[in-house]
Structure 1
Amino acid sequence: FNYTPSTHNVVEVDKVGYNWCLINPIEATVHHSGKDQMKLVEGMNYYICSLPGHCQMGMKLAINATSSS
């Protein structure tokens, strides 16, 4: 994820967190370097920006990772 760290962040969340724009699970790590790399697991991977209003305005991403075989 490439972004301006002073105006955004990235949090990996579960489906509930994605749907409701909540940091869920609560112990999720908030990434704020501006150049964050995430290792995808097979299946659904959910990410949001947790700054106020950002996720609600669409700053969220759901990725369905499939195996390469």
Structure 2
Amino acid sequence: MWGEEEGTTYGGVERVTVHPGDLTIEMTTLNAAELGTPRRFRITFPADCTEEVRAGLCRTLGAEVVV
């Protein structure tokens, strides 16, 4: 699930919820199965990087997907 602006494609990301230090990705069932990942999963990162992570997700996935 990478964005087109990085020169790749993504599919099936329905929503990304960002909190300080972590995010939860929710994908369509079909795309999650294709990738062999859970439909909903969490990623952690340093809390002081939250705004950079949010900006990157908005740029690659679209602001309408990022909560």
Q: Which TM class, normalised by the smaller chain length?
A: under 0.3
TM-score (norm 2): 0.25
* Structure 1 or 2: more helix by fraction: 2
TM-score (norm 1): 0.24
